[in-house]
Amino acid sequence: MHVDFKSPCANGTFGDVKKDTHMEFSPFNNVVKLCLQGMSMEEAKHTEEALNLFTQAWNEATDDHEHFLAAYYIARNQEAISDRLTWLEAALSHALKLNDDTVKSALPNLYLNLAKCYEALGDSDKSHGYADLAAVLGEKPSDTGPFYHGTRADLPVGALLTAGGNSNYQSELTMNHIYFTALVNGAGLAAALARGDGRERVYIIEPMGSYENDPNLTDKKFPGNPTRSYRSTMALKIIGEVSDWVRPSPEELQRFRERLAKGNGEIIN
């Protein structure tokens, strides 16, 4: 799959460039929608209904990514450890077939869950093996971009984006990190939600130092970091500007703002 974006040419203008991307996580995917419905049933303590929805998602899955998601949720709704282990191993089997950072980010937590199952079953060798894998893979994201940052600020190529701004979601909170994503449409949504009167802008950025998975999103609802969202205490250098992304409709944007307003819990800063 390819996406068109603008990259600065030698003369300072922006030319069209083709760039490979990974599969983009979408809430409009039917299996994802079934998992979302199942999570709603979980939150309402309707365990049987939740498991039925996750099982339906498994039965309707058509690729490894969808099978991975469905198996992950079926696993966590199993009472017997042996059954949980069976479904976790199914999730891992499908995950390992994918060269996708959306899934790679879920592996540390998946390995930890497998380690816990083997520990409970008395297999210390496999438990320690999976725990070691979780530790190694959890050190830093494998994602290498390209990366994007959405804002309303009008900035030139070469400018540096730094931490210290106020949160778009809690205006009184000064952010200790600067946030970015590998999904251009996610950056576009961030631009639409950003404060200010300027037009929405999505910049292609290069992290100037180390970065980590955004803990406000990673493993919160979906396994891993499906929105490929990251943060850094170091600056982000603007190296280009995207000219085209899928913009949310005014109605969709309003619904998203309403969900944010109703949201609870502290931002991990």
Confidence at 170, pLDDT banded by 50, 70, 90 = low
Cα 173 to Cα 129: distance, rounded to the nearest angstrom: 41
Confidence at 3, pLDDT banded by 50, 70, 90 = very low
Confirm or reject CATH 3.20.170.40 for domain 145-262, answering yes or no. yes
| DSSP notation for the chain | -EEEEEEE-TTS-EEEEEEE-PPPP-TTSHHHHHHHHHHHHHHTT-HHHHHHHHHHHHHH--SHHHHHHHHHHHHTT-SSHHHHHHHHHHHHHHHTT---HHHHTTHHHHHHHHHHHHHHTT-HHHHHHHHHHHHHHTSS------EEEEES----TT-EE-S-PBPSSSTTPBPSSEEEES-HHHHHHHHHHSSSSSPPEEEEEEESS--EE-TTTTTTSSSS-TT-EEEESS-EEEEEEE----PPPHHHHHHHHHHHHH--S----
8 preceded by cis ω (within 30°)?
no
Cα 118 to Cα 11: distance, rounded to the nearest angstrom: 59
What is the dihedral sign for C-alpha 75, 78, 79, 80? negative
- Which position has the token pair 């320690």? 128
Cα 203 to Cα 160: distance, rounded to the nearest angstrom: 11
pLDDT digits (tens, 9 = 90+) for 93-115: 999 999 888 888 899 999 999 99
Query: At the top level of CATH, which class does the domain 30-137 belong to?
Result: mainly alpha
203: Cβ–Cβ under 8 A, 6 or more apart, which residues?
Answer: 148, 149, 150, 151, 155, 161, 187, 238, 240, 241, 242
Question: Is the pLDDT confidence value at 19 over 50?
Answer: no
At 268 the pLDDT is 67
Tokens of residue 221, six digits = 């609802």
Give the closest residue to 246 by CA, choosing from 106, 160, 148: 148
Question: Is the pLDDT confidence value at 186 over 60?
Answer: yes
Cα 154 to Cα 94: distance, rounded to the nearest angstrom: 43
pLDDT digits (tens, 9 = 90+) for 123-133: 999 999 999 99
Tokens of residue 60, six digits = 């309707």
Q: Matching CATH topology for 30-137 and 145-262?
A: no
Cα 111 to Cα 156: distance, rounded to the nearest angstrom: 43
Number of Cβ within 10 Å of residue 204's Cβ equals: 27
Number of Cβ within 10 Å of residue 216's Cβ equals: 15
Confidence at 262, pLDDT banded by 50, 70, 90 = low
Question: Is the pLDDT confidence value at 23 over 60?
Answer: no
Domain positions in the chain:
30-137, 145-262
Q: What is the pTM of this model?
A: 0.70
Tokens of residue 140, six digits = 């830093």
